[in-house]
Structure 1
Amino acid sequence: MVRIPEKLEKKVIVPTYDESGNLVSPEKEVVTKVPESFYMDAYEVTVGQFKKFLKSSGYKPDMPINWSQVYRASPKDKHPMIIVSWHDATAYAKWASKRLPTEMEWEHAALNRTHFTDALGFGHAPAARPDRTQL
């Protein structure tokens, strides 16, 4: 898990529309800020981790998992788990003694990822990192 600092801010321009969908204001600056720091896993939950959760906990997903569909996009146990409901993801997080990020935390981490890209695995292209050797 990596610590996501609270002091990061990101300004975005959000257009404003009325009930009919007409543009009211072309620009409205919104600042997103999370009041406290928090921790987030550096990597997605893998297919293997989710299968271990299902086996050891006996949890029954909301809908049966279509494993052939999962394996088309994530063919190995080390690939990210996909096609799970919010309830299934919450059950996994509870089993792992964690929690899902709030919507604000998720947006904060995604919008400010340039401040901690290596920690979250986004990284930089090797050519952009002169301090690292490209093999």
Structure 2
Amino acid sequence: MVKILLVGIGGFTGAVLRYALNSYIHKSTYSWGFPVGTLAVNVTGCIIIGVLSRWDELKNIFSPELRLLVFMGVLGAFTTFSTFGNETVQLLNDRKLDFAILNVTTHLCLGLFAVLTGRYMVNFFWK
């Protein structure tokens, strides 16, 4: 039961953080017609998970419970892969193939780059 509560508390926190960041970015980029807010949330989540997972590998900083709270709860709710998929399909439905391809490419490339960057940051600063 404690594990479920930890994931739930983390999920609530991650969802609120996701909403706040996405809303903030969406206000200034709405006219672009491209889901910049979702991209920003996913890349930010990838950097954070890259940093925290590598730091944990090196320093063993997370208990199993804290790992559930942060990784499964907060970051699981914060990143928005399902939204990414839905927005990509909507771009395709709107016959915006160029934006759909751009959306997939930038999420994958920047997401992987962000995870690697987070891991290298830990190696550089804390190893």
* TM, length-normalised to structure 2: 0.24
User: Which entry has the higher C-alpha Rg, 1 or 2?
Assistant: 1
Q: What is the TM-score normalised by the length of structure 1?
A: 0.23
Pick the structure with more strand per residue.
1
Q: Which has the higher helix share?
A: 2
